């Protein structure tokens, strides 16, 4: 669990790290839109999205293996989605005589796995190159117009940043509890799925208690420092739009245009 990189910040002085957090958040949203724009069976569009992630990772000077480790957190969800498509999709032609797996089910399973994988890789790249404080400031700035309808923008951004900040902490805590339970003779690997789920109860209860304790300690610490999310609150670092952000916007726009063009070209060919 310590190797799961989603939610962790990878410090560096790269081109991507120095970009405005607001631009990076919008770029990731645009990237996710581009992933969803890829039409079923048009897998070449996914190649453009993967190239976008690889180039951005290289420019950010982050080991690509560290970005791939973010997939560990959702590997079960990916496998479950693929299995559901394989065994419960009755459309298409069976791959063999009297078989229950169809070609459409296989294509849909591959398509969904690729889509989820690319979305998680892009989202993890945001958390790896942007600190939780910068993400909170970026979200607060982007949602600023909602203040006119009395939406608690600052509080919402604070909740998001705290959640991202405590993902690695909770993973470490879970790993520590599992090792402690194994030292007491707990078995998490044998038996069927129901026995394994039951064996996780001694892990979930201490983890839940620890989470509430950490939340209470954090609230006390913020209270002791007279923290207040008032409208007159100032920021230590001011976010500014620079040439790096313009390049990022152009690069992201190029991805969306490329995906749309690939959909059109492949649609004509097909």
CA distances in angstroms from 248 to 21, 86, 99, 185, 239, listed in the order given: 11, 38, 48, 52, 16
How many Å separate Cα 91 from the centre of its chain?
31
Chain position carrying tokens 């939406």: 151
Write the pLDDT tens digit of every residue in 3-48.
Answer: 555 557 888 888 998 899 899 999 999 999 999 888 876 778 888 8
- Let me know: does 68 contact 54? Beta carbons within 8 Å: no
What domain count does the chain have? Answer: 1
94 pLDDT band, cuts 50/70/90, is low
By residue range, what is the domain housing residue 114?
1-130+240-270
How many Å separate Cα 42 from the centre of its chain?
24
Please report whether residue 211 resides in a domain.
no
Q: Which residues pair with 102 in a beta bridge?
A: 94
Please report whether residue 124 resides in a domain.
yes
Write the pLDDT tens digit of every residue in 121-148.
Answer: 888 888 889 887 888 888 888 888 888 8
Name every residue whose Cβ is closer than 8 Å to that of residue 6 and which is 6 or more positions away in sequence.
70, 73, 120, 123, 124, 127, 167
**For 226-233, which contacts have Cβ atoms below 8 Å and span 24 or more sequence positions?**
229/152, 229/154, 229/155, 229/158, 233/154
Specify the DSSP class assigned to residue 194.
Answer: H
Average pLDDT over residues 208-223: 88
Q: Can you list the positions of beta strands (E) in the chain?
A: none
Please report whether residue 48 resides in a domain.
yes
Please report whether residue 155 resides in a domain.
no
Please report whether residue 53 resides in a domain.
yes
Please report whether residue 265 resides in a domain.
yes
Write the pLDDT tens digit of every residue in 257-266.
Answer: 888 887 765 5
Please report whether residue 138 resides in a domain.
no
Write the pLDDT tens digit of every residue in 143-189.
Answer: 888 888 888 888 888 887 788 778 778 878 888 888 888 888 777 77
């Amino acid at each position: 669990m310590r190797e799961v990189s989603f939610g962790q910040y990878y410090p560096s002085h790269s081109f991507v790290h120095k970009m405005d957090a607001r631009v990076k958040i919008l770029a990731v949203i645009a990237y996710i839109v581009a992933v969803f724009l890829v039409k079923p069976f048009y897998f070449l569009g996914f190649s453009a999205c993967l190239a976008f992630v690889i180039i951005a990772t290289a420019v950010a000077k982050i080991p690509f293996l560290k970005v791939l480790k973010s997939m560990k957190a959702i590997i079960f969800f990916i496998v479950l989605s693929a299995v559901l498509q394989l065994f419960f999709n009755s459309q298409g032609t069976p791959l063999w005589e009297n078989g229950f797996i169809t070609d459409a089910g296989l294509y849909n399973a591959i398509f969904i796995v690729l889509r989820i994988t690319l979305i998680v890789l892009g989202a993890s790249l945001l958390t790896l190159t942007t600190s939780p404080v910068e993400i909170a400031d970026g979200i607060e700035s982007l949602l600023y117009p909602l203040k006119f309808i009395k939406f608690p923008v600052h509080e919402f951004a604070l909740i998001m940043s705290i959640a991202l900040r405590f993902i690695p902490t909770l993973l470490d805590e879970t790993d520590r509890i599992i090792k402690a339970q194994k030292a007491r003779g707990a078995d998490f690997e044998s038996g069927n799925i129901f026995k394994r789920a039951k064996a996780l109860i001694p892990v979930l209860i201490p983890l839940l208690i620890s989470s509430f304790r950490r939340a209470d300690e954090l609230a006390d610490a913020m209270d002791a420092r007279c923290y207040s999310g008032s409208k007159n609150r100032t920021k230590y670092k001011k976010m500014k739009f620079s040439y790096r952000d313009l390049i990022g916007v152009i690069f992201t726009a190029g991805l969306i245009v490329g995906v749309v063009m690939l959909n059109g070209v492949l649609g004509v060919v097909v």
